[in-house]
Amino acid sequence: MCGNSAYGNRLVIRFRPGQAVGRSDLTLLLDGILNARTGDANLDGRFDSSDLICVFQSGEFEDAIADNSNWTEGDWNCDGEFTTGDLVAAFQSGGYDFDANVADSTPSATARSQSG
Ligand SMILES: [Ca+2]
Ligand SMILES: [Ca+2]
Ligand SMILES: [Ca+2]
Protein backbone atom coordinates (compact mmCIF):
# COMPACT_ATOMS: atom_id res chain seq x y z
CA MET A 1 0.00 0.00 0.00
CA CYS A 2 1.35 3.43 0.81
CA GLY A 3 4.93 3.43 1.93
CA ASN A 4 8.49 4.35 1.25
CA SER A 5 9.83 3.24 -2.07
CA ALA A 6 12.12 4.27 -4.85
CA TYR A 7 9.29 6.58 -5.92
CA GLY A 8 8.98 8.29 -2.54
CA ASN A 9 5.94 7.96 -0.32
CA ARG A 10 3.56 7.15 -3.15
CA LEU A 11 1.38 4.26 -4.06
CA VAL A 12 3.53 2.08 -6.30
CA ILE A 13 1.89 -1.34 -6.24
CA ARG A 14 2.14 -2.79 -9.71
CA PHE A 15 0.07 -5.63 -11.02
CA ARG A 16 1.97 -5.68 -14.30
CA PRO A 17 5.43 -4.36 -15.08
CA GLY A 18 5.38 -0.72 -16.11
CA GLN A 19 1.81 0.03 -15.04
CA ALA A 20 1.36 2.04 -11.84
CA VAL A 21 -1.98 1.63 -10.11
CA GLY A 22 -4.47 4.39 -9.36
CA ARG A 23 -7.05 5.14 -6.71
CA SER A 24 -9.48 2.63 -8.18
CA ASP A 25 -6.83 -0.06 -7.89
CA LEU A 26 -6.26 0.88 -4.26
CA THR A 27 -9.98 0.55 -3.64
CA LEU A 28 -9.99 -2.83 -5.38
CA LEU A 29 -7.02 -4.00 -3.32
CA LEU A 30 -8.56 -2.80 -0.07
CA ASP A 31 -12.15 -3.86 -0.58
CA GLY A 32 -11.77 -6.83 -2.87
CA ILE A 33 -8.56 -8.47 -1.75
CA LEU A 34 -7.68 -7.34 1.77
CA ASN A 35 -11.31 -6.92 2.86
CA ALA A 36 -10.24 -3.61 4.37
CA ARG A 37 -11.51 -0.09 3.88
CA THR A 38 -10.18 3.44 4.00
CA GLY A 39 -9.23 4.10 7.61
CA ASP A 40 -8.55 0.47 8.45
CA ALA A 41 -5.00 1.11 9.63
CA ASN A 42 -4.52 -2.29 11.25
CA LEU A 43 -6.12 -4.16 8.32
CA ASP A 44 -8.54 -6.15 10.47
CA GLY A 45 -11.39 -5.46 8.06
CA ARG A 46 -13.02 -2.72 10.17
CA PHE A 47 -12.52 1.02 10.47
CA ASP A 48 -13.16 1.74 14.14
CA SER A 49 -11.69 3.43 17.19
CA SER A 50 -8.77 0.99 17.35
CA ASP A 51 -7.57 2.33 14.00
CA LEU A 52 -7.80 5.93 15.19
CA ILE A 53 -5.85 5.06 18.34
CA CYS A 54 -3.25 3.29 16.22
CA VAL A 55 -2.67 6.19 13.85
CA PHE A 56 -2.62 8.90 16.52
CA GLN A 57 -0.11 6.88 18.52
CA SER A 58 2.21 7.17 15.54
CA GLY A 59 2.54 10.84 16.45
CA GLU A 60 2.67 11.90 12.80
CA PHE A 61 -0.60 13.82 12.55
CA GLU A 62 0.21 17.04 10.71
CA ASP A 63 3.81 16.91 11.91
CA ALA A 64 6.65 18.99 10.44
CA ILE A 65 8.37 16.08 8.67
CA ALA A 66 7.62 15.71 4.97
CA ASP A 67 6.58 12.39 3.41
CA ASN A 68 6.99 10.36 6.58
CA SER A 69 3.66 8.58 6.94
CA ASN A 70 2.32 5.34 5.53
CA TRP A 71 -0.98 3.47 5.70
CA THR A 72 -0.61 2.21 9.27
CA GLU A 73 0.40 5.72 10.36
CA GLY A 74 -2.74 7.37 8.97
CA ASP A 75 -1.85 8.20 5.38
CA TRP A 76 -4.98 6.81 3.79
CA ASN A 77 -4.92 8.94 0.63
CA CYS A 78 -1.32 8.03 -0.18
CA ASP A 79 0.20 11.51 -0.25
CA GLY A 80 2.86 10.65 2.31
CA GLU A 81 1.30 12.67 5.12
CA PHE A 82 -1.22 12.02 7.89
CA THR A 83 -3.52 15.05 7.84
CA THR A 84 -7.16 16.01 8.24
CA GLY A 85 -7.52 15.06 4.58
CA ASP A 86 -6.98 11.43 5.51
CA LEU A 87 -9.58 11.56 8.27
CA VAL A 88 -12.04 13.26 5.92
CA ALA A 89 -11.41 10.62 3.25
CA ALA A 90 -11.87 7.81 5.75
CA PHE A 91 -15.09 9.14 7.23
CA GLN A 92 -16.47 10.12 3.82
CA SER A 93 -16.03 6.53 2.72
CA GLY A 94 -18.83 5.77 5.16
CA GLY A 95 -17.05 2.79 6.59
CA TYR A 96 -16.65 3.83 10.21
CA ASP A 97 -17.94 0.99 12.36
CA PHE A 98 -19.78 2.56 15.28
CA ASP A 99 -21.56 -0.70 16.10
CA ALA A 100 -18.33 -2.66 16.60
CA ASN A 101 -17.22 -0.35 19.37
CA VAL A 102 -20.60 -0.39 21.11
CA ALA A 103 -20.95 -4.17 20.83
CA ASP A 104 -17.42 -4.81 22.05
CA SER A 105 -17.94 -2.75 25.19
CA THR A 106 -21.36 -3.99 26.29
CA PRO A 107 -21.48 -6.25 29.37
CA SER A 108 -23.27 -9.03 27.48
CA ALA A 109 -20.64 -9.06 24.75
CA THR A 110 -17.89 -9.13 27.34
CA ALA A 111 -19.58 -11.97 29.23
CA ARG A 112 -20.05 -13.95 26.01
CA SER A 113 -16.44 -13.53 25.04
CA GLN A 114 -15.22 -14.59 28.49
CA SER A 115 -17.53 -17.59 28.74
CA GLY A 116 -16.84 -18.81 25.22
CA1 LIG B 1 -9.18 -1.78 11.66
CA1 LIG C 1 4.51 14.41 7.95
CA1 LIG D 1 -2.43 11.58 3.54
Nearest ligand to the CA atom of 82: 3
Span between the terminal Cα atoms of the chain, in Å? 36
Using the mean position of ligand 1's atoms as its centre, give its distance from the Cα of residue 45 in Å.
Answer: 6
Nearest ligand to the CA atom of 66: 2
Its pTM stands at: 0.67
- Window from 15-29, 55-69, 91-105 with minimum mean pLDDT: 15-29
Instruction: Give the number of other Cβ atoms within 10 Å of residue 39's Cβ.
Output: 24
Quick: pLDDT tens for 33-61. Answer: 777 789 999 999 899 999 999 999 999 99
- Per the DSSP assignment, residues forming a β-bridge with 82 are 61
Nearest ligand to the CA atom of 74: 3
Using the mean position of ligand 3's atoms as its centre, give its distance from the Cα of residue 79 in Å.
Answer: 5
Using the mean position of ligand 3's atoms as its centre, give its distance from the Cα of residue 110 in Å.
Answer: 35
